Structure 1
């Protein structure tokens, strides 16, 4: 019997990352559940196991190269060589440009852009050894520009360029590299955005849904389904692509 593919999902302790880990595990993929928070990583791993899947929680800061390499080695030792990478981990520090501190800038760029680069670099040897791999980076509709998100928008625009470049570099080795760009998804992060704007979360969701062509807000599972397609065998001729999961066309 062929061993299952092994995936690493970053920021998998909650929200979209947790939904993605569960979705991939449901299709037979063993999942390294990577998060900076040990408690939430273990909680997601336990949910995967309870559903009959294989998971191993790993604690790491994706902006630290030594922790990233150690995390992938840990997953390889527990589950087998990782060949699927989902770079979901992200943070926001939303402020008008004139109020952004260097710490606001650095912390967001470190997690949202430096982190995916380090993860891609670290998983590359495992993928090249297997001559097969899938990478899904997380961009955002904010990459097109969004008020009070100069740091986040810049990092996500960088993800677009990173994705296309790595698709060119890694394609000859059987590795595809794509990105998903979620729109409004109901998560802890978007709840904080509503709070920053002084709106009740439910009211904020209603406002967004009214402006979305499909007339609803997105759920973490909506993004997880898109990721599952991109990492599957049937997406082998899709690479360097930006898939918007936004409930309608983007400008």
Structure 2
């Protein structure tokens, strides 16, 4: 069991959480994987190992503070980073057994063509790997002086919207 500095990742069973775990593993960071889904944790654990990393898998429900406290209490070592990557559950359809709706990623994939805005300079939907790369940067030594800033990982969408809102309106005076 690893006892070095550890990054804790909630929602590590899939999506951004799983991709971030693998990305961090490639840089030598030990990851504590938290998710409600044991099968997802097992898949991510195998991916982390294939990337040459070490992982601790912990089943926990981030909606239950006692569950999270118990899981964090079993993390050996010092927690030096935390990604709250637990997925949003969207109630767009009838809930599945257990009261949960479909995962956000499934909804987004089914509406992909409707979501690409021309202001997204990459012309594609962002992938979990895109977000994982930014998270790995922020948890790494290269970001030691980065603080108090939002970093949108959106293919340039926010910048384009911001630029559009900053276009000056010039009023022409016909008397000049």
- 1:92 deviates by 3.1
Distance 2:24 2:59 in 1: 20
**What CA deviation, in whole Å up to 9, does each residue of 1:105-138 have, x standing for no partner?**
xx9xxxxxxxxxxxxxxxxxxxxxxxxxxxxxxx
Give the paired residue count.
149
Q: Which residue of 1 aligns with 2:61?
A: 61
1:67-146 superposed matches below 5 A: 67-76=67-76, 80-94=77-91
| TM-score normalised by L of structure 2 | 0.75
Larger Rg: 2
Which 5+ residue runs of structure 1 have no aligned equivalent? 96-103, 108-187, 195-200
Q: Which residue of 1 aligns with 2:39?
A: 39
The structure with higher relative contact order (CA 8 Å, sep 6+) is 2
- 1:221 deviates by 0.4
CA 1:44/1:17 → structure 2, altered by over 3 Å: closer, same or farther? same
Other structure's SS at 1:217 match: coil
Other structure's SS at 1:8 match: strand
**What CA deviation, in whole Å up to 9, does each residue of 1:166-205 have, x standing for no partner?**
xxxxxxxxxxxxxxxxxxxxxx5232246xxxxxx3xx32
Q: Which residue of 1 aligns with 2:125?
A: 217
Distance 1:235 1:4 in 2: 20
**What CA deviation, in whole Å up to 9, does each residue of 1:209-231 have, x standing for no partner?**
35322111111100000101111
1:192 aligned to which of 102, 107, 110: 107
Other structure's SS at 2:113 match: helix
Distance 1:192 1:207 in 2: 11
1:21 aligned to 2:21?
A: yes
Q: Which residue of 2 aligns with 1:12?
A: 12
Q: Kindly report structure 1 stretches of 4+ aligned residues shifted beyond 6 Å.
A: none
1:239 aligned to which of 147, 156, 163: 147
Distance 2:117 2:69 in 1: 44
| TM-score normalised by L of structure 1 | 0.54
Distance 1:45 1:236 in 2: 28
